[in-house]
Structure 1
């Protein structure tokens, strides 16, 4: 893996994302159109992902993709709004924008703060590649790059529904979505700050069980799911009859957290810090609640 300092690493990642967005924009403006807005956008999203994949292969580090989760959703929102104007409910569009932009800024900033440089790669990626054996490049492309892109796009479908429908729908539910979304962003921010402080002060083998982390072993994941649930509420508010379609993305992310991300994190934490078993015995796995005595 290439050894590059943090400043230069961030510069290379920025170049990669500018190239990815440029390719996506070129497709949307000059490429052949399907005459279906969401499908054109999905193709552009996949093309941008392929650009990031190329950078990942060149520098042998799939963590090039990490920021994609928070960088692309605001761009999808803005493009859909641009293409749907003026036939869009302005209030709902602005409420969605506030929630998504705050979420994206927080998540991207947290990634930049914690990113040490391209000498580091998310510990899960080498594991996926090693398990794939000679199909390592397929695992890298599909499991690490394409599937998360499709998952996030699916979770953005309710935003597409909300932005492209001019009817105000259930305005009260849009306000509920705002409260849930902003609460999710605040919860994630506090959880991140508490974890960064703990990492800076912790003793060897010590497990995190302070603040929000004493109520949930994964408050960051709970906050992240709550954010996507808020987007689902926006979609339901715009088109109640399509509630099932608006819910699919958030449910898929919940399944990923509960079925894959959390089990992998907990297995790793137990292997590195046996004291984490005490946290498991006392603290809720996902939904925050007071800890057991």
Structure 2
């Protein structure tokens, strides 16, 4: 299957998934909470993507869903909430989330080679699960990321479900942090692309942003979701005690799963990566240590 046909099939699956979600939101039974209606729709869309993944024997069908759904959620919460179409705070939030989604989705489209490719972690997880591989495929690879992104997006719901409250400076700070986070991710991806095009066999990346953090792209992703949480704090300060839950979950995922798996694989493929580990901070950007 060609790369173009692969992308068209994924796009069609997402169109069906969003169609199912929209049909539920418009015609399905309502719950007592708009956020819960959105969660049910999100899970139903995830099931559609999961079915498409199984039909094509490739769980990377799900990968772009991470960045496609948040703008949809924000748009629905805005439409269902009290803020009108001209509300500047809703627009500011939507633009920041849209900026993040466009960059991340475009980067995925640029790097996705076609249906013959699947993220190396997915077959490993399914193989380790044995006879439970179907359950692990749905829960760990599809449903869990959906719930995690939804939790991190809930602060946006706080802003869009409240009208008439002064927001001011804090939302502006959230916007600046969000834009800066997306710019950092873009720069990190660009630097990695340039490195991959010219690297020598066995060479490990430790240039530019990657000299200050072994995973600047993950730091940018965490920073973006922190920015969304700041928007929620601005709209509802009394909820500040829990509004960072999504950001904390992101940190836990990257530190507890994504980074250890990536670094183990890097060491297996490039023993020189141990030198990078010895010199370059793991996640939070800091001045790199000297070798030896």
Q: Indicate the TM-score class for this superposition, using the shorter chain for normalisation.
A: over 0.9
- 2-structure distance, mates of 1:139, 1:89: 44
1:161 counterpart residue number: 158
> For the residues of structure 2 that align with 1:89 and 1:133, how far apart are their CA atoms?
53
Determine if the alignment matches structure 1 residue 243 to structure 2 residue 240: yes
Match of 2:260 in 1: 263
Deviates more, 1:102-111 or 1:196-205: 196-205
* Aligned residue pairs, count: 290
Provide the residue aligned with 1:36 in structure 2.
Answer: 33
Q: Check whether the contact 2:82–2:162 (CA below 8 A) recurs between aligned residues.
A: no
Structure 2 distance, partners of 1:169, 1:240, is 11
Question: What corresponds to 2:181 in structure 1?
Answer: 184
The corresponding residue for 2:138 is: 141
| 1:12 positional shift | 0.4
Q: CA deviation at 1:197?
A: 0.9
TM-score of the superposition, structure 2-length normalised? 0.97
Q: Report the Cα offset of residue 87 of structure 1.
A: 5.9
Match of 1:125 among 122, 125, 130: 122
Instruction: Give how far 1:36 is off.
Output: 1.6
Indicate the SS of the match to 2:200: coil
Match of 2:62 in 1: 65
Structure 2 CA distance for partners of 1:242 and 1:89, relative to 1, 3 Å: farther
Q: CA deviation at 1:91?
A: 2.2
1:54 corresponds in structure 2 to 51
The Cα of 1:149 is off from its aligned counterpart by 0.4
When residues 91 and 252 of structure 1 are mapped into structure 2, their CA distance, relative to the original with a 3 A threshold, is same
User: 199, 223, 230: which one pairs with 1:202?
Assistant: 199
Deviations 1:54-74 (A, max 9, x none): 000000000000001000000
Secondary structure of 2:139 counterpart: helix
- Structure 1 residues 251-287: Cα deviation after superposition (integer angstroms, max 9, x where no partner): 1011101111001110000000000011111111101
Deviation at residue 289 of structure 1 after TM alignment: 1.2
Gap runs ≥5 in structure 1: none
Instruction: Tell whether the 8 Å contact from 1:89 to 1:167 is kept in structure 2 after alignment.
Output: no
Q: Secondary structure in 2 aligned to 1:245?
A: coil
Other-structure match for 2:289: 292
Contact 1:63 1:122 in 2 (8 A): yes
- CA offset at residue 226 of structure 1? 0.1
**TM-score, with length taken from structure 1:** 0.97
Residue 241 of structure 2 aligns to a residue in which SS? helix
- SS of the residue corresponding to residue 234 of structure 2 reads helix
2:96 is matched with which residue: 95, 99, 124? 99
Q: Does residue 105 of structure 2 align to residue 108 of structure 1?
A: yes
Q: Deviations over 1:31-85 (max 9, x none)?
A: 1111321111100000000000000000000000000100000000001101114
Query: How far off its partner does 1:98 sit?
Result: 1.5
Cα distance in 2 between the residues matched to 1:244 and 1:61: 39
**Runs of 5+ in structure 2 lacking a partner?**
none
Partner of 1:223: 220
Match of 1:278 in 2: 275
Residue 88 of structure 1 deviates from its aligned partner by 8.4
Q: CA RMSD in A?
A: 1.2
SS of equivalent to 2:240: helix
Instruction: Please give the per-residue CA displacement for 1:145-200, whole angstroms capped at 9, x wherever unaligned.
Output: 00100000000110000111113344111011011101000000000000011111
